[in-house]
Amino acid sequence: MKILAIDTACDETSVAVVKDTAILSNIVWSQASLHAKWGGILPSLAKREHLKRIDWVIKKAIHSSHLTINNINAIAVTVGPCLAIAGEVGIKKAKELAQKYHKPLVAINHIEGHVLSPLARPKNSRLTHNLQFPALGLVVSGGHTDLILINEIGKYKLLAQTRDDALGEALDKAARMLGLGYPGGAILEKMAQSGDSEAYTLPLPMSGREKEGYFSYSGLKTALWKLVESEKAKNKSLLTKKQIQNLAASFQNQAFEHLTRVISSVIREKPLRVSDLLVGGGVSNNLEVRKRLRKMGQGLGIKCHLPYTKKLCGDNAAMIGVAAYFKALGGKQEKNISKVDREPRARIDQPFFWQRPNG
Ligand code: KG4
Ligand code: ZN
């Protein structure tokens, strides 16, 4: 089955073509540099840029897949969670294509896309994952820190979420405090690689209270802010490069320690008999977090599955295509295309359009 997938959930205009779980093309037009000067994502700018680029990105994705629109069996699109006016651009375009070319439309939850991103495989590869269900999913991105029970593909339960900032958001804020720009997760990682995580003492979030099953990063962020201010005052000026590296390493260390402690605690407390963990989202680019998750997994007899390429970690449409493939296999395309609409606060465990009485 060949699917054209569109994702405009946030600040990437992305279109992909997948054949089952194999990626034939995956074009990602990032607006990150345009939003950088605002220190965050400006929804109106995101919408404007999506509108400007979407037709070109669709054309490029089809061309790179060596198919034509006539060879495509279905159109998939992210309906949420998303920045409402950004997500709307992709939804409108997907509906137009589905109606014009008489293709079924598959509505996809963006978080489901991230969870299933490790199942994507390169074109012509036989890569398979022998997953056992129930399995676990972890999405660590700019907007989400979600631990998910995957009873089977398409049947999810949210096990733990963040109480305040998402992990990626916390890393971005820490990077900004250290003068590293926006979005700062990747540059913070680079700095941390040359830093000493023991050089400073930062609090471990929810220490001893991991059983409560929440992630929380705002206390750690405030502690970093205080530490940065006191270090700056000591220097009587800006931070030195060494200080930045050490502060980055200390922050990452506690942020990731908290992440793995809560996950382990949820698994032990339930207890959950799982042997596979699927990890996705922009923060899963980070080598240190990958190492920690693998180490945690070894201790619990759980195998970590990560996307085969870093391009699948951040926002991209190929992951939406893969999720749509499983959904379409189960006959879950939308019955009434005109009713498909943006769902900015969609949860991965909520009923989908095709399941709703008026869907
Ligand atoms: O999944 P994503 O591209 O977009 C959302 O759906 O949010 O995730 C973006 C987040 C940002 O917070 C960014 O700083 C973070 O992923 N990120 C990283 C790295 N690369 C991107 N965080 C830590 N280390 C990285 N190498
Ligand atoms: Zn995302």
How far, in Å, is the centroid of ligand 2 from the Cα of 197?
Answer: 28
Contacts of 236 (CB under 8 A, 6+ apart): none
Q: Using the structure block, give the residue that is written with the tokens 């922009």.
A: 282
d(CA 204, CA 206): 7
Cβ neighbours of 31 (radius 10 Å): 21
Are the beta carbons of 283 and 167 closer than 8 angstroms? yes
Are the beta carbons of 144 and 165 closer than 8 angstroms? no
Tens digits of per-residue pLDDT, 288-343? 999 999 999 999 999 999 999 999 999 999 999 999 999 999 888 888 999 999 99
Mean pLDDT of 265-288: 96
How far, in Å, is the centroid of ligand 2 from the Cα of 185?
Answer: 14
How far, in Å, is the centroid of ligand 2 from the Cα of 235?
Answer: 38
How far, in Å, is the centroid of ligand 1 from the Cα of 172?
Answer: 8
Pocket probe mutation, ligand 1, options 33, 110, 285, max atoms within 8 Å of Cβ: 285
| Residue 143, ligand 1, Cβ within 6 A | yes
How far, in Å, is the centroid of ligand 1 from the Cα of 59?
Answer: 27
Backbone angles phi, psi at 202, to 5 degrees: -115, 150
| Residue 195, ligand 1, Cβ within 6 A | no
pLDDT at 215: 98
Residues recorded for the chain = 359
Pocket probe mutation, ligand 1, options 112, 117, 141, max atoms within 8 Å of Cβ: 141
The secondary structure element, H or E, covering residue 305 is: strand 303-305
Which listed ligand is nearest to 284 at the C-alpha? Answer: 1
d(CA 193, CA 187): 10
d(CA 166, CA 117): 19
| Residue 259, ligand 1, Cβ within 6 A | no
How far, in Å, is the centroid of ligand 1 from the Cα of 354?
Answer: 31
Average pLDDT value over all residues in the chain: 95
Which listed ligand is nearest to 312 at the C-alpha? Answer: 1
Mean pLDDT of 168-178: 97
Nearest by Cα to 274 from 119, 132, 130: 132
Tens digits of per-residue pLDDT, 187-209? 999 999 999 999 999 999 999 99
Burial of 161 (0-12, 13-18, 19+ CB in 10 A): middle
Are the beta carbons of 143 and 10 closer than 8 angstroms? yes
Give ion ligand 2 contacts, CB < 5 A. Answer: 141, 315
Mean pLDDT of 167-182: 95
Q: Output the six-digit token pair for 254.
A: 């506690």
Cα dihedral 162, 163, 167, 169 sign: positive
Q: How confident is the model at residue 129 (pLDDT cuts 50, 70, 90)?
A: confident
- Percentage of the chain exceeding pLDDT 70: 98
| Residue 36, ligand 1, Cβ within 6 A | no
Backbone angles phi, psi at 226, to 5 degrees: -65, -45
Mean pLDDT of 60-67: 98
Whether residue 245 is predicted with pLDDT greater than 80 in this model: the reply is yes
Nearest by Cα to 321 from 73, 147, 138, 140: 73
Whether residue 357 is predicted with pLDDT greater than 70 in this model: the reply is no
Nearest by Cα to 28 from 327, 347, 304, 321: 321
- pTM of the complete model: 0.96
How far, in Å, is the centroid of ligand 2 from the Cα of 323?
Answer: 14
pLDDT at 354: 63
Mean pLDDT of 141-163: 96
How far, in Å, is the centroid of ligand 1 from the Cα of 357?
Answer: 36
pLDDT at 123: 94
| Residue 142, ligand 1, Cβ within 6 A | yes
| Residue 284, ligand 1, Cβ within 6 A | no
pLDDT at 39: 82
Query: For the chain, where are the alpha helices, taking DSSP H only?
Result: 32-36, 43-65, 84-101, 110-116, 167-177, 185-193, 218-235, 241-269, 287-300, 318-329
| Residue 87, ligand 1, Cβ within 6 A | no
Pick the residue whose CA is nearest to atom 25 on ligand 1.
186
Q: Are strands 12-19 and 105-109 parallel, antiparallel or unpaired?
A: unpaired
